Amino acid sequence: MIEISEDDFETLVVNALDDMPPALLELMDNVVVVIEDRHPTEDLFGLYEGIPLTERDMYGGFELPDRVTIYRLPICEDCVSSDDVVDEVRITVVHEIAHHFGIDDDRLHELGWG
């Protein structure tokens, strides 16, 4: 397990978001990215909860923001170096943001992000 403080992990998530193409970030709509230590029942690196942009034809505008959660401890436990943590955070952020755009796990695997 790699020990990374909450603040340093948050910086990794912010950097992963900052590294995404600005045009893509501008298309994100009503989504919040949060960090938690771990999911209460599953061993996940990240989770997208919400209505993907591809399904928002019924979206009324009063919905709570979509939520992307990045789980710090499972990522740190799975990685063997700090560089691995940086890479896994970037992969996880991209993976979960892709769900916001309606890209499912099968397609992400085809694209090499799964």
| Tens of each residue's pLDDT in the chain, 114 residues | 899 999 999 999 999 999 988 888 888 888 999 999 999 999 999 999 998 888 877 666 677 889 999 999 999 999 999 999 999 999 999 999 999 988 887 887 787 765
- Do the domain assignments include residue 1? no
Written as one string, the DSSP assignment of 75-102 is: HHHH-SSHHHHHHHHHHHHHHHHHHHTT
Domain that holds residue 102: 6-58+66-110
DSSP-derived pairing of the beta strands 46-49 and 66-71: antiparallel
pTM to 2 decimals? 0.89
Q: How many domains are there within the chain?
A: 1
- The predicted pLDDT at position 86 comes to 97
- Do the domain assignments include residue 80? yes
- Do the domain assignments include residue 53? yes
- Do the domain assignments include residue 31? yes
CATH of the domain at 41: 3.30.2010.20
